[in-house]
Amino acid sequence: MEDSIRRELEVEVCTKLDAEKAFKKEEERLLKALNEKEQTVLVMSMEEDLISTVNSYFSEITEIQIETSAILETLNNVEHQRKLEIEEKNKSCQEETEQVVEARVTVELHVSAKKNANNTFLLRD
């Protein structure tokens, strides 16, 4: 009977040890799965942060491009306006130069006519 009790105790101890090993393995498996899940959540969170940052930079770059385009358009308009003003001033200068030349010719003709008239008058005397 003592052998029988000892065997029962040995079986019971072995069963308990096997159960503890199985429990320990299951605990390790669950901890590993939990750790993997946490890593996955962390990676997903980091990915979302990265996407958010990239989107933010993309928005900023888009705004800068829009502002740059507006500035370039304004500069082009100013340059075009300046060219028109220069053309207008050149045209005005050309017209004034032509008027001066015409006035000079008129004065020279008038002076020449007076000289001729004076010469004719002097020759008559």
pLDDT of residue 37: 97
Q: What residues does each domain of the chain span?
A: 1-90
Full-model pTM: 0.51
pLDDT of residue 123: 61
Distance of CA 48 to the CA centre of its chain: 23
**Per-residue model confidence as pLDDT tens digits over 103-113:** 999 998 888 88
* Whole-angstrom distance, CA of residue 110 vs CA of residue 94: 24
Residues of the chain with pLDDT under 70: 118-125
For 54, the token pair is: 């990239």
Residue with token string 């009790």: 5
